[in-house]
Amino acid sequence: MSLVGSKGNPTVGNDTPKQKGKATPDTLKVGCIAWVKKDGQPRRAEILSIKETKSGRQFYCNYDNFNKRLDEWVPVARIDFDQEVDWPNPEKDKQKEKQAKKTTVAPKRAQPSKNSRKKVGKREQSVASEGQTPHPWSEFTEAQAQAQQQQQQQQQQKPQRKSEDVDDKAVASLEVGGTPGVGPDEMEIDEDETPAGLAKKERASSFSREEEIEKLRTSGSMTQNPAEISRIRNISKVEFGRYVLFPWYFSPYPEIFGQEDSIFICEFCLSYYGDLKSFTRHRQKCTLQHPPGNEIYRDDFVSFFEIDGRRQRTWCRNLCLLCKMFLDHKTLYYDVDPFLFYVMTTRDERGCHVIGFFSKEKESTDGYNVACILTLPQYQRKGYGRLLIQFSYELSKIEGKLGSPEKPLSDLGLLSYRQYWSENIIELLMGYSEREEKCTIEGIASHLAMTTQDVEHTLQALKMQVYHKGEHKIVVPEKLRLQREKAKLKQKRVIDAARIQWKPPVFTASSRTWGW
């Protein structure tokens, strides 16, 4: 199955001429492009890393025109050494190293004056300590600070007309398209020209490292370091219950597990082991048969458990390590105290088996009702993701709030949410149409417990929001009507809201903060 080529790996498929020649398992090195067997067919792949395992040497391959999640560790037997390989160009590698060194050189920082130090006081000490720790901050950003400052000053010098600004804002809201992942910085265009807004622009014109550090998100589960995304997958294979899983991305398991051909994870307590003997001994002693939390929902098919990250730290940390193998841009591994985890399971005579989960901040400043959501690969494309999304919105309805997932979403998560949003919005609109009632975006949002932003972006993505005779109207195209009729013929599992036994939990200040 050929997918879109992964970003960050432009070497594969590059048209630049390279030196070719025969290679051996000992001479094959990082950067070479060789022919590797995948699904019985030879394919071009770039060697990104080499490691020694108990079964022998393995090579980490990125296949040409394949998605990054399909990268894998392959043994020597799958590499065709009869064909020539493309050797990396040493001159270009040296140039890349020189450029990397130039970009990593930090520019001279302006020293704050004594008066500013007095004003900052203790706050300066906290910022300094934060800057000493590994932080998602690129030194290259500081190098571009002057250029950004000049652009901002030029924009401020241009004459501003309020009447035209209003028109521009209306057009911008219509031209956003169907991308729900709009971040907080993009939403600043909706601010009015108030004194607070002008003061904000003045602060933005003067670049400050301390202010930028404060702006970075310090809660939630999003990764802020791009280098974290590009890390090479360290686990080759996982045996999880009666399934064998092949991870997609890097997960921060202990380094020694990277030398194992396969790791074993208990499907109930999620403990991980590197050899079969230890895992077998553990299974004989493990008595857990369901997630260690309160069962808040049960029907004939699935159950939901609520787990507090503060009370069940080890189990939740193991869950985060497991899900990180299939999510590329999440960074929540160890500090799970400020999160609640809602785990969906299926039941049989052996116990409750984990299907998927979503996590939720105990107190989200941005109003997110989902921080991280995942359906395990063996259960994907079976409608379970839709149940997870629906359950998160049912909880938001009980809370009396409008919910939205943490942005940006993963590629698969975005597809699932867009499908859920479109199905529910179209179903609601058809009901209004049959009753000949008028509706508003705010009414749709409150009825479905969605944010107005998600509703509006979905309508724009489906081209259902039009401007006619001086007013905005919502139109359901005939194509979407036919899709709705076909969808009704399929039997879909849904959450029965009457079966949810749950009340919004109340936490103290210490139980909803990071446990550093």
Residue type, 368: Y
Q: How many helices, marked H, and strands, marked E, lie in the chain?
A: 16, 19
Q: Which residues contact 392 (CB under 8 A, 6 or more apart)?
A: 342, 358, 360, 369, 370, 373, 403, 405
Cα distances (angstroms) measured from residue 192 to each of 55, 154, 454, 507:
64, 20, 22, 36
Query: How many residues in the chain?
Result: 516
Rounded Cα–Cα distance for residues 397 and 503 (Å):
11
| Ramachandran region, residue 507 (left: φ > 0; alpha: ψ -120 to 50; beta: rest) | beta
Among 406, 427, 471, 485, the one annotated catalytic: 406
Cα distances (angstroms) measured from residue 136 to each of 44, 334, 342, 406, 407:
34, 17, 28, 18, 17
Rounded Cα–Cα distance for residues 400 and 17 (Å):
61
Q: Which residues contact 6 (CB under 8 A, 6 or more apart)?
A: 62, 66, 67, 68, 71
Tokens of 402: 């409008």
Rounded Cα–Cα distance for residues 463 and 422 (Å):
11
A 10 A CB-CB count for 279 gives 19
Q: Give yes or no for a contact between 342 and 305, defined as CB atoms under 8 angstroms apart.
A: yes
Rounded Cα–Cα distance for residues 203 and 198 (Å):
9
Q: Give yes or no for a contact between 282 and 235, defined as CB atoms under 8 angstroms apart.
A: no
Cα distances (angstroms) measured from residue 260 to each of 54, 130, 253, 254, 257:
6, 36, 12, 11, 5
406 is a catalytic site residue: yes
Rounded Cα–Cα distance for residues 16 and 286 (Å):
56
Rounded Cα–Cα distance for residues 79 and 93 (Å):
24
Catalytic residue list: 406
